Structure 1
């Protein structure tokens, strides 16, 4: 929060995940329209292409990351940006029949692809989650942070909906630190992946989606800023777990109680 110059209520600090990308949109309204179109239109192809690109390793990595974040049997999970259910599927294996999972996503097309019995689906955005205060034990977000409008607002919502002691896991793809590694990944994501998408996918939008993916990865705020935003939202034990130089798993815990200042 930024103090008001007039001494009134503090002004919320807006933290976009990346600068605007004029190749795809020119303002926030166009940004939201672009995201709705691109995700609704490519939903039917998404899982098939993701499986090809990840060489089948995606499920094991997502499951391990959730375990590392502390997801346990019987937990009530809110999966933000559930998409087609790739993270949710692994979460269900960990929470078991005693657990519960609710998925939130702005894309009706993506949620139409979720084939997970017992999962409740709710249309909504990360910055204004349609869930009550202190209503879940665990919040997950898998590779969706780059597609929201305000990281600070989203993390504030994660904190609000978690019960005291609740945990959060944010999975993201991070631009490599070295120039050579960055150039290699950029070439793969902007040239090879769209080609695969055109072969495997059934819609023209699919190759555009994967080019957009790289552009958001390249422009995304750095890991240290993500860590700072989680801490600023009120979380403790905020950590980033890096894998292969490009996969980041951010974990944090909502304190059991509020420590009074003074």
Structure 2
């Protein structure tokens, strides 16, 4: 499954996953231009971690729950000759194994739909971020325009299951079936405006959002309050 992950991520994101990830990292790097230590949560196969090292002179710690993804990520890092700048660890976003204020910037990708308490998870992500540092995320989103929303529903309910099956077999066919309803359900419970409130509640200010690819992707970023020095 991990060997197909990058291909499937492109299929499931209308071919936009790479562009979305770059937009997220670029936003974080602009917010924290002097960042040296970066944490990438839900790093998967290390695509974001690798782009961070393309984009800036940083050292990246990537953390992910899935050992198989991390093995593939280590292969990708070694292939690119970045093992001296990227280390990958297994762990949970809800319980990060780092002291307070350990990192200059924190990014996370496709995470909040998979945690029980998004607000509490954001508090934990902000805890390990230094005051003034950038927090940035990428998530799938639901287009707001009625026409594009109808097209998105058709794509996620019809095309994705077939595309997942053709590129990854039955297991990824199930992923395709799951994705659309999962995204819709997430935003019914946690609308974007409420998620922004979660960020504010975690001590992150100047929160900005950028909807991409007609609303299919959502990049969000902000800066940890200087007053949040104790996490």
SS in 1 for 2:226: coil
Q: Which whole-Å CA distance do the structure 1 matches of 2:12 and 2:95 have between them?
A: 32
1:248 deviation in Å?
Answer: 1.1
- Larger RCO, structure (CA 8 Å, separation 6 or more): 2
**1:190 alignment partner, one of 157, 161, 172:** 157
Q: Which residue of 2 aligns with 1:200?
A: 167
1:55 deviation in Å?
Answer: 6.2
**1:75 alignment partner, one of 33, 36, 45:** 36
Matches within 5 A, 1:129-140: 129-140=96-107
Residue pair 1:106, 1:125 contacting (<8 A) in 2 also: yes
**1:229 alignment partner, one of 174, 180, 198:** 198
SS in 2 for 1:112: helix
**1:102 alignment partner, one of 35, 52, 61:** 61
Q: Which residue of 2 aligns with 1:154?
A: 121
Q: Which whole-Å CA distance do the structure 2 matches of 1:166 and 1:86 have between them?
A: 21
1:191 deviation in Å?
Answer: 1.9
1:177 deviation in Å?
Answer: 2.0
Structure 1 stretch displaced more, 225-234 or 189-198 = 189-198
Q: Which whole-Å CA distance do the structure 1 matches of 2:173 and 2:195 have between them?
A: 28
2:207 counterpart of 1:241: no
2:177 counterpart of 1:211: yes
Q: Which whole-Å CA distance do the structure 2 matches of 1:184 and 1:94 have between them?
A: 34
Q: Which whole-Å CA distance do the structure 2 matches of 1:250 and 1:126 have between them?
A: 17
Matches within 5 A, 1:1-262: 42-54=1-13, 57-69=16-28, 70=30, 71-72=32-33, 75-96=36-57, 99-114=58-73, 115-116=76-77, 117-118=82-83, 119-201=86-168, 203-220=169-186, 221-243=190-212, 244-258=214-228
What is the CA RMSD across the aligned residues, in angstroms?
A: 2.0
Output one character per residue of 1:137-187: Cα deviation in whole Å (capped at 9) or x when no partner: 111011222112211111111111011111100111111224442232122
Higher-Rg structure is 1
Residue pair 1:197, 1:207 contacting (<8 A) in 2 also: yes
Q: Which whole-Å CA distance do the structure 1 matches of 2:33 and 2:180 have between them?
A: 33
4+ residue runs over 6 A deviation:
none
Evaluate the alpha carbon distance shift between residue 147 and residue 176 of structure 1 in structure 2; reply closer, same or farther with a 3 A threshold.
same
Residue pair 1:137, 1:163 contacting (<8 A) in 2 also: yes
Q: Which whole-Å CA distance do the structure 1 matches of 2:206 and 2:60 have between them?
A: 24
Q: Which whole-Å CA distance do the structure 2 matches of 1:190 and 1:56 have between them?
A: 17
